[in-house]
Amino acid sequence: MTTMQERSDLLDKIGLAEQNKAALGQVLGTGSIGYAAETSDGTMRATIRIHPDELTWDPSILVMPHGGDIELELVNDDLNTHCALLPSNGDRKFIWLVNHSRGRATLNLDGPGYYWYCSPTGNDEGRGLTGAIVVLGEAPPEARLDRPEQPRP
């Protein structure tokens, strides 16, 4: 049986979570995980960074407690230019992130479910700059089926 600790050790041992070690880039879904903070008015906020030469988002999995609006600060600490294409209801949001830059994005997302975002330049997406935004929660009561509670996996 594989435990979370074993998984982390294996990622380090094999080099799956780093650039140009095991694979050419960092394998999707192997990066860090972070929570969005929620303010009293229900707005969510988070900062996402690109560290030097990592070609990955930190966090690469951002968790929102529920659907709604989220304000992101996007920081590129890398020595190369990247960008961000982010999911949002209405249209996807795009921003250039030149070396050592900091920008902002406001997204509106439904919950529950998860969404990918990326840096759509060159093959940043394949090298590791593909991240996920996970939205927790349930469908609103008025949308749920009129039936007894059902088993889930």
Partner 1 sequence: MSVDYVDAGEAVDQGLLSGKVAGGEVAPPVVAGLDYERILNARREPHNWLTYYGAYNGQRYSPLDQINTDSVKRVVPAWVFQAGTTGLIAGASTYSFEAAPIVVDGVMFVSGWDGWVWALDAKTGVEIWRYKHAVPFDVSLCCGNVNRGVAVAQGKVFTVTPNARLLALDATTGKRVWDKTYGDVRAGESATLAPLVVKNMVVVGSSGGEFGVRGHLDAFDLASGEHQWRCYTVPKPGEPGSETWPADGEAWARGGANCWVTGTFDPETNLLYVGTGNPAPDFDGGVREGDNLFTDCVIAVDVDSGQIRWHYQCTPHDVWDYDSIAECILFERDGRKLLGHFDKNGYFFVLDRTNGARVGITPFVDRITWGAITRDGRVTAKAYPDKEGEPVHFYPGPAGAKEWTHAAYSPKSELFYVPVQDTGATATRRRREFKESIPYWGAGVQVDIEDMAGSVSAFDADGDEKWRWRNELPMCASVLATGGDLVFAGEPSGEFNALDARTGQMLWQFQCGSGHHSSPTTYTVDDRQYVAVPVGWGGWAEGFLPGMLGAGHGSALIVFALPDWS
Interface ranges with partner 1 (CB under 8 A): 74-76, 84-110, 112-118, 120, 125, 130, 132, 135, 138-140, 142-148, 150-153
Q: Is 32 or 101 the residue whose CB approaches partner 1 more closely? A: 101
Annotate 37-87 with DSSP letters as a single string. EE-TTS-EEEEEEE-TTT-SEESSEEEESSSEEEEEEEEE-SSS-EEEEE-
Q: CB 77 → partner 1: shortest distance, Å? A: 9
Q: How many CA atoms lie within 13 A of 82 on its CB side?
A: 33
Q: CB 101 → partner 1: shortest distance, Å? A: 4
Sign of the alpha-carbon dihedral angle for 142, 44, 50, 88:
positive
Q: CB 117 → partner 1: shortest distance, Å? A: 8
Q: CB 93 → partner 1: shortest distance, Å? A: 4
Q: Which two tokens stand for residue 71?
A: 């304000």
Q: Is 15 or 49 the residue whose CB approaches partner 1 more closely? A: 49
**Residue 36: DSSP 8-state:** P
Q: Which two tokens stand for residue 19?
A: 């650039």
Integer-rounded Cα Rg, in Å, for the chain is 17
* Distance between CA atoms of residues 35 and 70, nearest Å: 12
Q: CB 71 → partner 1: shortest distance, Å? A: 10
Q: Is 10 or 139 the residue whose CB approaches partner 1 more closely? A: 139
Q: Is 20 or 116 the residue whose CB approaches partner 1 more closely? A: 116
Q: Is 57 or 117 the residue whose CB approaches partner 1 more closely? A: 117
